[in-house]
Amino acid sequence: TIKDLYKRIVNPPRTVQNVNGWIRSVRLMKKMAFLDIQDGSCLETLKIAIPIKQSDETIFLKRLKTGQSICIASAQWQETPQREQPFELKIEDPLQSISIRGNVTENYPLQKKNHSLLFLRSLPTLKHRTMYLGSLMRFRSFIEQRLMNVLQSDDFVKVSPPVLTSSDCEGAGELFEVKTASSKNYFGKPCYLTVSTQLHLEILAMSLSRCYTLTPCFRAERSDTNRHLSEFWMLELEMCFINDVRSLTTVLESILRRLIESCLERSSELIPEVTLQECLSREDVINRWKMLLNPEPWKLITYTEAINMLSEKHKIKPFEKYEPKWGEPLQTEHEKWLAEAHFQSPVFITDYPRDCKAFYMKTNTPSIPGKETVACFDLLFPEMGEIAGGSIREDNYNALAHEMHRRGMNSSGELDWYLLLRREGSVPHGGFGLGIERLISYLFGNHNIRDAIAFQRSATGTID
Ligand code: 4AD
Ligand code: MG
């Protein structure tokens, strides 16, 4: 690969055989031709210089076009100390050495200049061949692998919970139902694509103490924003023997800090130096990482404190759409103000009102009737908003049964499999879910999580 060639700079070979790639650009002059080749293995491209000696070579070289896949059978290594890149390959006999593997159509849409992401999103079959989106896919691979390494080293066991399920974990009714192609139920039973694997993770945590998963989750939400997908990936972890939200935020912050440190060590490999105009430059990306790595621990405030701060600010300069009110969910403009304008750093918001959150969260005690809060947190990043959310789970059978009843849930015992876990050696436990595309998009300096997944699924996108 081209990556292998760059590794050989310290001890370059004289000749190189069988180089494969796609042409990024061709420059044909009277006496010389220059090719720029990419193969997706790294940020670098490979420059090829071809001295032209005969007219049949010119005729052949005129057939080379951006986007074609080619194979170079043999070429000479040539150092180029005067130019940007440290070396190039020289081809003495292009007719013998270059073969065109796959041609392109007349209208190959990815000519060299930078295209807008909006345009690229309309080309799901070709867009990953651009340097920007190719590096975003490699970045995703790096992030997933690092997250797994960090969790394994913290003794979390990787598990694989199901994607097909009968329950709505978040109780928000955003389920996709699974039917056979002839519109029959799943073997006569209700079946949905999972919105979160948490309920199954809780079962596994009760045998493994600490477990995690990285799985696709599905939500039938119509929100057409740059932060919502109908199919996205979530890193979820669950751990036993913890009582308070602080234990969870500490684990999450430590995982993310170690992840970002390893990004920083590899920044020149991960982030293209020249990015698209609409995205952060490498320098700005690194500054964003450094902001996250600020030695001061990330801010942590309760929901009630947040509402007080937001109300103060509202008195001075009102929010555009929503007045902050205790008992109401925080709106995007509120979250933006907190993380971006006020703290300018990540912030954990804890202990939301019980009715703003899902049924499984543990109610804080003592509580004021009508003002109950739950032991939970959301992690907000500036310019992205919510990246992760989690909670301590209600581990008491009676308390959970009562809360489910209060919400009109489990009337036909459909969640008994989950509830009854509280009857068999129940322990205090909790966990969280981290949106992988939101994290990747943010760390890469991109503004739309649709670019952080290879094939986006959303209410407005096409489906292949
Ligand atoms: O806050 P959520 O809904 O939490 C849960 O599902 C919990 N059961 C997780 C747990 O405790 N194990 O989702 C968690 C994260 C969000 O913070 C967000 O980053 C991401 O998942 N997320 C989405 N990402 C992209 N598109 C969507 N439609 C998303 N919905 C949630
Ligand atoms: Mg949430």
Q: Give the Å distance between the CA of 219 and the centre of ligand 1.
A: 10
Q: Which ligand is nearest to the CA of 217?
A: 1
Pocket residues: Cβ below 6 A from ligand 1: 169-170, 196, 198, 219, 221, 228-229, 232, 234, 236, 386-390, 431-433, 435, 437-438, 449
**Does residue 293 sit within a domain?**
yes
Whether residues 343 and 413 fall in one domain: yes
**Does residue 197 sit within a domain?**
no
Q: Which ligand is nearest to the CA of 227?
A: 1
- Domain span holding position 220: 119-160+205-451
CA-based R_g, the chain, Å? 27
Q: 3-state SS of 282-305?
A: HHHHHHHHHHHCCCCCCEEEEHHH
Whether residues 372 and 446 fall in one domain: yes
**Does residue 113 sit within a domain?**
no
Which SS3 state, helix, strand or coil, does residue 19 take?
Answer: strand
Whether residues 69 and 137 fall in one domain: no
**Does residue 177 sit within a domain?**
no
Taking CA atoms only, the protein residue closest to ligand 1 atom 29 is 228
pLDDT (tens, 9 = 90+) of the chain, 464 residues, equals 999 999 999 999 999 999 999 999 999 999 999 999 999 999 999 999 999 999 999 999 999 999 999 999 999 999 987 777 889 999 999 999 999 999 999 999 998 678 899 999 999 999 999 999 999 999 999 999 999 999 999 999 999 999 999 999 998 889 999 999 998 899 999 999 999 999 999 999 999 999 999 999 999 987 778 999 999 999 999 999 999 999 999 999 999 999 999 999 999 999 998 788 889 999 999 999 999 999 999 999 999 999 999 999 999 999 999 999 999 999 999 999 999 999 999 999 999 999 999 999 999 998 899 999 999 999 999 999 999 999 999 999 999 999 999 999 999 999 999 999 999 999 999 999 999 999 999 999 999 999 999 999 988 877 88
**343 and 291 Cβ atoms separated by less than 8 Å:** no
320 class by beta-carbon count within 10 Å (0-12 exposed, 13-18 middle, 19+ buried)? exposed
Would strands 376-381 and 347-350 be described as parallel, antiparallel, or unpaired?
antiparallel
Q: Which of 34, 67, 102 is the last residue of a domain?
A: 102
Residue that is written with structure tokens 């180089």 in the block: 19
Count structural domains, the chain: 2
Which ligand 1 atom is the nearest neighbour of the CA of 228?
26
**432 and 236 Cβ atoms separated by less than 8 Å:** yes
Task: Give residues whose Cβ lies within 5 Å of ion ligand 2.
Answer: 389
Longest pairwise C-alpha distance within the chain: 90
Whether residues 77 and 142 fall in one domain: no
**Does residue 189 sit within a domain?**
no
Cα–Cα separations (whole angstroms), residue 389 to 16, 137, 377: 51, 25, 6
Joined together, the tokens standing for residue 452 give: 């952080």
Residue to mutate, 170, 196, 348, 379, ligand 1, most ligand atoms under 8 Å from C-beta: 196
Residue to mutate, 234, 330, 458, ligand 1, most ligand atoms under 8 Å from C-beta: 234
CATH code, 447: 3.30.930.10
Rounded CA separation 85/68 (Å): 23
Whether residues 357 and 232 fall in one domain: yes
Whether residues 217 and 342 fall in one domain: yes
366: preceding bond cis by omega (within 30 degrees): yes
**Does residue 365 sit within a domain?**
yes
pTM: 0.96
**Does residue 75 sit within a domain?**
yes
